[in-house]
Amino acid sequence: MTKINSMPVDSPFHPENTHEYDRWRAWKLAAHPPSPEHLVVPVKDLTAPSAREEEAILRLCRAANMAIYDTGRRDGGDSPQLAEELKLFAAHFGLIDRERHRSMRDHELVDIRVASAGERPRQGFIPYTTRRLLWHTDGYYKYGYPGARPIRAMILHCVRQGRKGGENELLDPEIAYIRLRDENLDYVQALMADDAMTIPEFIEEDGRKRPASQGPVFWVDADGQLNMRYTERSRHIVWADDETTRKAVAFLRELLRSDDEPFLFRVRMKPGQGLLCNNVLHTRTAFVDHDEPEKRRLLYRGRYANRVRAPQPLPA
């Protein structure tokens, strides 16, 4: 195990700062919403959230790193106007540094739906199938090489549900950090190591190369915020070759399958609902889609290099 990534010694996430960690831990466990129903905030107008809606979303993102907004629109309508409203809504909460993803459409969001046969570059990637998605944070492979911009936040909006299934499980990374640290301080030190997790080099269909991504699972950014990158996949991933890291990863996997974790939430977002979050751990169960094309499951996703924050003046 190599050295952990640097952070201020007064950070509650520093392995040696027991006093501040205990204070932060007590606040975190008391402030975290007790159920997924407590994550939901009705939002009347995505382009202009009210002060009350804004405060509720920010409070949830501080306490749990996520909020589920609910526009009440259940018609499943898909339009360029909706995409623009979602981008404005995300920007209202400081999310403006949007990823340029290979699968995004003209509206600069990615539509998550089942890809048709031969559709490139989506064909063969699990998010664009009906199969389940294992536990992960988005963009876990975007770290540690020149030009890589770690994904720190995202918006995931449900336009239409599938016929059956497609639930998401959600867990705040700060809760995962607490459970690991409480079990064994060495576990979080191992997962903060600069070589804890490596995603090997990947060659795109067009020949472009995505370099190997090596870095920590947990790291603290310049603003003092704890971030996480993780995937439960077993292929195309290399963990640091030491016993402590192996035990830490095994503990984390057990945690994510636990029936005893009170803050591990399962939700099935309704049309018109969406997740605004600081890149929380999440899954998706397998689903059965509708036969009619106009009814098939559809979500919009935007991923960002910055985190949710209080509203700022929007850039021109």
Question: Which structural domains are found in the chain, ordered by start?
Answer: 1-27+173-262 (no CATH), 32-164+267-309 (3.60.130.10)
| Residue pair 203/212 in contact by the 8 Å Cβ criterion | no
Strands 209-210 and 202-203: antiparallel
Place of tokens 């975290």: 32
Q: Check the CA dihedral 99-227-257-274 and report its sign.
A: negative
Encode the chain (316 residues) as per-residue pLDDT tens digits: 445 567 889 999 999 999 999 999 999 999 999 999 999 999 999 999 999 999 999 999 999 999 999 999 998 888 889 999 999 999 999 999 888 655 545 457 999 998 876 666 556 678 889 999 999 999 999 898 888 889 999 999 999 999 999 999 999 999 999 999 999 999 999 999 999 999 998 776 666 777 899 999 999 999 999 999 999 988 889 999 999 999 999 999 999 999 999 999 999 999 999 999 999 999 999 999 999 999 999 999 999 999 999 876 555 4
